Amino acid sequence: MSAVIETAPSPQPSPASGRGGKTGLNPKYLPLAATISLFVLMATLGSVFYDGFFSAQVFLNLLIDNAFLIVVAVGMTFVILSGGIDLSVGSVIALTTMVSASLVEKHGWSPVVVIPLVLAMGTAFGAFMGLLIERFRLQPFIVTLAGMFLARGLCYLISIDSISITNAFYSEVSQIRIPVWGEASLSISAVIAIAVLLAAVFIAHCTPFGRTVYAIGGSEHSAMLMGLPVRSTLVGVYTLSGFCSALAGVIFTFYMLSGYGLHALGLELDAIAAVVIGGTLLTGGVGYVAGTLFGVLMLGIIQTLISFDGTLSSWWTRIVVGALLFVFCLLQRFFTSRAPRR
């Protein structure tokens, strides 16, 4: 008499437990979804409570006023995706403005020469920090902290006072507006920021460099075992951050029309906050360049709401951003703990 052995069917993964499925959403996307939803909610509330808030120019001003922060936050996104940190970005911006102002105003150099020069300077500065981090296996926090002090100190070797830029090129570029629709318009700086963002999205998701950055952030040891160019990519990440910082410095120079050692003081913290609020994990490996845009816009819309209210101190911006950071750090911890383990 033969025995019949029945086997239970293997359990099928639920749609929400996979990489998203057809009806579920992967937990790693939820912080980004929360950021976008909160941005839409704040924009809606502003439109309801404040006359004139719901207009194309108000929202385009978020890009215009935060163009330099978008650019520097893009570079910071790649650094954090790799599991690192860059505390030097604000100081590099200040150094860029000081070098530009000094060469243009005091030495009579042409902006056509100065702008490529400061971009190369920032790129080399980032590459140098990347080499130290990769070659000597130093902690990114310490190396970039040293870079922050070095760049900020170099500003004061140039001048302890603010240097105004009266060059016609900088003045004209700062005043150019590109019509979008109706009376709404964008500045050159905002257009540059959008171009950098689109290029960064392509690099992050459509190039071997971007895929390697994600792999390193997930597990550097595993990335090495897979034969990925870990060492060159780590240097490249900080090189890219240095370039973005210098470019943000050029944009900041157009915005402020001056060079000063106290420019962009604490901006590295704003960039980190924007990246985290945009859904990128500080531990690396998970994040989105597009999410960083919404992180920056979130900071901008908070400032705009406070400005429209008129009764609140500007310090409320810091209070709200601090509260948001607490909330998003907890959300990231909660959602990553629920993510499927492979």
Q: What is the mean pLDDT of the chain?
A: 89
C-alpha to C-alpha distance for 65 and 93, rounded to whole angstroms:
16
77 contacts 287 by C-beta, under 8 angstroms:
yes
Query: What local confidence, expressed as pLDDT, does residue 59 receive?
Result: 94
Residue 135 has pLDDT above 90, yes or no: yes
Q: Dump pLDDT digits (tens) for 299-325.
A: 999 999 998 988 888 788 889 889 988
331 contacts 27 by C-beta, under 8 angstroms:
no
Query: Position 38: which residue type?
Result: L
The one-character DSSP state at 165 is: -
Average pLDDT over residues 182-210: 96
Residue 196 has pLDDT above 50, yes or no: yes
C-alpha to C-alpha distance for 304 and 72, rounded to whole angstroms:
21
Q: Dump pLDDT digits (tens) for 60-88.
A: 999 999 999 999 999 999 999 999 999 99
Query: What local confidence, expressed as pLDDT, does residue 69 receive?
Result: 97
Annotate 36-67 with DSSP letters as a single string. HHHHHHHHHHHHHHSTT-SSHHHHHHHHHHTH
The predicted model scores a pTM of 0.90
Q: How many CA atoms lie within 13 A of 129 on its CB side?
A: 33
Sorting pLDDT into bands at 50, 70 and 90, what band is 24? low
Residue 42 has pLDDT above 50, yes or no: yes
Residue 7 has pLDDT above 50, yes or no: no
Specify the CATH number for 27-335; select among 1.10.3470, 3.30.70, 1.10.10, 2.60.40. Answer: 1.10.3470
Average pLDDT over residues 147-163: 97
Domain boundaries, the chain: 27-335
Q: Residue 36: which residues within 8 A CB-CB, separation 6 or more?
A: 294
Sorting pLDDT into bands at 50, 70 and 90, what band is 332? confident
Least confident of 107-116, 176-185, 309-318: 309-318
Sorting pLDDT into bands at 50, 70 and 90, what band is 340? low
